[in-house]
Amino acid sequence: MGRLEARVALVTGGLRGIGRAIVDRFVAEGALVVIGDLDADAPGLDQAYAGRVGYVRLDVTSSADWSRCWTAAQARYGPVTILVNNAGTTRSGSIADTSDDDWRLVIDTNLFGPFAGCRLAVQAMAETGGVIVNIASARGRRPGPGQCADFA
């Protein structure tokens, strides 16, 4: 038995990169995982993970999507007790060239997304308990040249 046996986790941005590595580790530790991601297609998850991983399309900038995703996760596996806010985005370019839409997308994805997920999780986990993990890039503390948040 793994440390996360029968725990239910929701991992945002879990189809690729760090998110996928988190999903792999959680499954290895016994968790049931729902991936919330923007990609419209997640082929082969049931076969690859023997039914231990599901997928729900999630735009983390939408409170309605968060509610729908959380409800779907619970319907599939039961109460969610682990939330990993991993989804994030960036846009390249100087601040002088950054559009309002690009700025809002970065802020809404990287700040509002985790807020909306935490708000929902805190309410849902009030009775069952649980864990929230928020992941952020080191670039949030120290932006580099060519990022839209950079003033260089």
Could you tell me the mean pLDDT of each successive run of 10 residues in the chain, 152 residues long? 92 94 97 92 79 95 97 96 95 83 92 97 94 84 62 38
Nearest to 84 by CA among 128, 126, 124, 33: 33
Under a CB-based contact definition with an 8 Å cutoff, are residues 119 and 145 in contact? no
Residue 48 confidence (pLDDT): 86
Angstrom distance (rounded) from CA 127 to CA 66? 19
- Domain range summary for the chain, segments of one domain joined by +: 8-137
Class of domain 8-137: alpha beta
Strands 32-37 and 53-57: parallel
pTM for the complete prediction?
Answer: 0.90
Residue 152 confidence (pLDDT): 36
